[in-house]
Amino acid sequence: MSKSIGTETTVKVASAPQEKKISYWSVTLLLAAAVMLSGIGQLMQFGGNVELVAKIGYPLYILTILGIWKVLGSIALVLPGFPRLKEWVHAGIFFLMTGAALSHAFANDYGDYGFNIILPLFYAALNIASWALRPKSRML
C-alpha cells in the first residue's frame, strides 16, 4: 500500500511543472489572441472602435497607436527569448487595460451590463495570470 502512495506522489510531483506549463500557454495564447484581434480591429477601425473612442473623447489617431502596440506586444508575448521585453509587454498590457476601464468609467460609458469596463479588466486579469504562471526561462 505504501508503494502506491509513493508512486502517486511521484506522479503528482512530476506532472506539476507540466500542468503549470499547459496553464501558462493556455492563458498566454488566449491573451495574445485577444490583444492581437483587438489591435487589428483598432488598426482597421471597425467593430465599433471609432464610436468607443469618440464617446470617451480621445482622438481617432489613438486607434492607430494602440493598434500597432497591441499587435507588436502580442507577437512579443509568444516569441521565444527576450524576457525583459516580455516584462515590458505585460506591464504595458496591464496599464492599457486598466486605463481603458478607467477611461470608460470616468466618461460614464459603461456599455451594456458594464461590458466596456468588465472586458478590459478581464484582459488585465488574464495578463496577471500569464505573468504569474510564466516559466523560469521567461523570467529576468
| Phi and psi angles of residue 45, each rounded to the nearest 5 degrees, phi first | 55, 50
For the ranges 22-31, 44-53, 89-98, 100-109, the lowest mean pLDDT is seen at 44-53
Distance CA 123, CA 77 (A): 14
Does the model's pTM come out above 0.75?
yes
66, 116 Cβ separation under 8 angstroms: no
CA dist 11 and 137 (Å) reads: 23
> How confident is the model over 58-74, as pLDDT tens digits?
999 999 999 999 999 99
pLDDT band at 139 (very low <50, low <70, confident <90, very high): confident
- Dump pLDDT digits (tens) for 77-132: 999 989 999 999 999 999 999 999 999 999 999 989 999 999 999 999 999 999 99
Query: Distance (Å, rounded) from C-alpha 55 to C-alpha 49?
Result: 10
